[in-house]
Amino acid sequence: MNPEQFKKQNIKVIISEAFMVIAVIITVIVLALLVSGYWLNSNFEIERNGMLQIASIPTGASVEIDGQVSSWLERTNSSKILTSGSHTIKLTKDGYDSWSKEVNIAEGLLYRLHYPRLFLKERQLESLIDTSKYTDASISSDHNAVLLINSTSEWAYVDLDTDNPTPRKIDISTLFSGVSLADDAKVGVLTDEIIDLDWDYDASHVLIEARNGEAVEWVLLDINNATKSINLTKEFGADFSRVEILDNNSNTLIAVQNHNLHKIDIPGRLLSAVLVKDVIDFDHYNNEIVFSARESVTEAPKTMPGYYVGFLKLGDRETTTLEQLKDPVKVAIGKFYDSKYIAVLDEDLLTVHQKDAYQDETMQYAISFVPDTIKVGHDGEFLLLVKDHTLATVDFEATIVHQWEIEDHFGWLDNDMLYTVSNGDLIVYDFDGLNRRVIAHNVSSHFPVAITNDKWLYYFSDDNLVREWLIAK
């Protein structure tokens, strides 16, 4: 090869490699722009869009966007780039009812719709268990079990996530102070009033708050072995005003006694020293606790009451003061995407702080009423605020507040859907109050309702536990 040919060959190689480098750079730039939401529209103009990610129960529902079936998003459980702004999404499926919502797509951001549920129109009803001797019931937090309750010492547990649910007796005769055995009775009579029941995450224990005369007692019921249950009030000789389960299997509880916060170690039967004094409200996320408490602030010539929001991680020796306030507040802690947040409710003003940047990153929402309670949604995506029959939802995905009135007391049908019973009609709502539908009739308003394993709808009707299939066979 002579020198001239060698030069030509080198030039070809250099030009080829340069084109490859340029192509890679252009590809990277294009991908970066696409990830950031930039798109080339039909007029060959660059615009910045957002992305919609949508799923449904059942899967495979048809998707309409602004009245048209999308060629890119014909079925649920997929994603689509959409122009920023308002869009109406409608889901339909043969044999099922429909679902719709108006969403606001933001530039460069993902909007998730993971909770839409469509109900089968023609459902088969199956009567399972005679519940005429029970006066109340409680659904587990995973919606897979129910505890049947009455005014005797013989309750029943039913596993709902099975083809043939069968009641299993649970003897609570030794657990409460208010149990007596009448001369002509085979089982004890429970005179305690059951105030509240709270299940742990794996449905192995139920924390029960009961009233015996003027006194309140707390019992941790072991579902699998009632003899291992604990009357917390008797065990620790303490007058607890509030107790909550901290972990999945009820090994650790958090309790308030005389306005002071303690940890309860169930396996070790230990009540800790005071963790926080003068607690007003608290919430937890795993082993992290956010609380509001009272403190004394000295301003000459007298001492004034003050309040603060604090944070405690179990195992740490000291608490962290996050904010000092003039008035008492309610608090909540949750996680949305990868960020933990702390919500502070001061009368009708809700402030949401990013946990790791408490003072710097906040959002405020005005609520048109003063809520009594604040609850974090199952996956942290929303906050539910309640006062009597008035509800408000702070939707973090949409960054808006929804408010509505509900007919009667409500419960959770699944993790994202509320229900109420009015005149025998079972009425369901999404967590934001939208997509209100009547899905069943002749439903008892004194017993809970649940969807189990996305297959069965359970409710009580005419002194029976019944269920309906939710999926087409």
Residue 48 within a domain: yes
Separation of alpha carbons 443 and 121, rounded Å: 17
Residue 71: predicted pLDDT: 56
Q: Give the 3-state secondary structure of residue 192.
A: coil
Separation of alpha carbons 250 and 247, rounded Å: 6
Residue 58 within a domain: yes
Reported residue count of the chain is 473
Half-sphere exposure of residue 113: CA atoms within 13 angstroms, side-chain side = 31
Residue 193 within a domain: no
**CB atoms closer than 10 angstroms to residue 429:** 21
The torsion region of residue 60 among left (phi > 0), alpha (psi -120 to 50) and beta comes to left
Count: domains in the chain: 1
Residue 159: predicted pLDDT: 97
Q: Are 49 and 82 in contact (CB under 8 A)?
A: yes
Separation of alpha carbons 76 and 69, rounded Å: 12
Residue 77 within a domain: yes
Residue 138: predicted pLDDT: 97
Separation of alpha carbons 329 and 14, rounded Å: 69
DSSP-assigned beta bridge partners for residue 341: 334, 354
- 306-321 burial, b if ≥16 CB within 10 A, otherwise e? bbbbbbbebeeeebee
- CATH code for the domain of 46: 2.60.40
Closest among 240, 231, 331 to 288, alpha carbons compared: 331
Residue 179: predicted pLDDT: 80
Half-sphere exposure of residue 397: CA atoms within 13 angstroms, side-chain side = 21
Closest among 256, 138, 161 to 207, alpha carbons compared: 138
**What is the identity of the amino acid at 25?**
I
Residue 361: predicted pLDDT: 87
Q: Which residue segment(s) compose the domain that 70 sits in?
A: 38-113
Separation of alpha carbons 126 and 468, rounded Å: 6
C-alpha distances out from residue 299 to 296, 304, 305, 307, Å: 10, 7, 10, 14
Whether the model clears a pTM of 0.85, i.e. scores above it, the answer is: yes
Distance of CA 150 to the CA centre of its chain: 28
Residue 6: predicted pLDDT: 47
Residue 372 within a domain: no
The torsion region of residue 10 among left (phi > 0), alpha (psi -120 to 50) and beta comes to alpha
Residue 78 within a domain: yes
C-alpha distances out from residue 211 to 73, 135, 176, 194, 448, Å: 55, 17, 10, 6, 21
Q: Which residues contact 205 (CB under 8 A, 6 or more apart)?
A: 199, 220, 221, 222, 223, 245, 249, 250
Encode pLDDT of 237-273 as tens digits: 999 999 999 998 999 999 999 999 999 999 999 999 9
Separation of alpha carbons 427 and 17, rounded Å: 66
Encode pLDDT of 332-356 as tens digits: 999 999 999 999 999 999 999 999 9
Q: Which residues contact 391 (CB under 8 A, 6 or more apart)?
A: 384, 385, 403, 404, 405, 406, 410, 418, 433
Question: Angle at the Cα of 429 (from 209 to 149), degrees rounded to 5?
Answer: 30
Residue 71 within a domain: yes
Q: Are 435 and 56 in contact (CB under 8 A)?
A: no
Residue 470 within a domain: no
**What is the identity of the amino acid at 124?**
Q
* Tens digit of each residue's pLDDT, the chain (473 residues): 555 554 555 666 666 666 676 766 655 555 555 554 455 545 444 566 889 999 999 998 999 999 887 655 567 777 888 889 999 999 999 999 999 999 999 988 899 999 999 999 999 999 999 999 999 999 999 999 999 999 999 999 999 999 999 999 999 999 998 887 765 667 788 888 999 999 999 999 999 999 988 899 999 999 999 999 999 999 999 999 999 999 989 999 999 999 999 999 999 999 999 999 999 999 999 999 999 999 866 555 555 679 999 999 998 888 999 999 999 999 999 999 999 999 999 999 999 999 999 999 899 999 999 999 999 998 899 999 999 999 999 999 999 999 999 988 899 999 999 999 999 999 999 999 999 999 999 999 999 999 999 999 999 999 999 999 998 87
